[in-house]
Structure 1
Amino acid sequence: MKKELPICPVETTLKLIGDKWKVLILRDLINGTKRFGELKSSIGSISQKVLTQQLRSMEEDGLVLRKVYAEVPPRVEYSLTETGASLKPILDSMWEWGEQYKKQISV
């Protein structure tokens, strides 16, 4: 089943990562695989429910890979897919812009 996506590519990108939490999840997974608890700790104020929802949505969109290990208790790890990792230049640009903005307003 093919998804209905907006005609505008910018709108498509925003539809996939336009949520604040999704961008922070991407930021944390850019550096490698993380477990749920690690993501929750590094993001901070996100609730467990919202983090679960965001990860599921990103998995459905093909940005995040969820790997469950057959252990007791089960261990679940999250990593970026190749498509998710391809967002790195966008996150790098956001980082650079944020740095410049912080310098500009602190003058």
Structure 2
Amino acid sequence: MVLEDLQVILNTTTKDALLTIYIREAQDAITNYLNGSEAIDFTTLYEGAVIKYVVQCINKKGNEGLKSFGQGSVSGSYEDGLSNSIKALLPLPHIRMR
């Protein structure tokens, strides 16, 4: 379902392999953020967060290492990891006890 939604959002059906890689990356990033177990399928639990993560990855493709940029009066920067808009779609992370 996530793959089909992304194909509609990105208006493509030929980038399935790339989208699958980004979906896996999203699942790993969400697992790390939530301090959770990899046995849970986050693509179904947090579908909106996965879609938003993949769309953000596609939008900054080719500029992965860029922290900030400026060109004339236009400037911007990219966040590392999960953005605040993605974190807002997720529950609070589990606390690990030592």
TM-score by length of 2: 0.33
TM-score by length of 1: 0.31
Q: Which has a greater percent of strand?
A: 1
Q: Which has a greater percent of helix?
A: 1
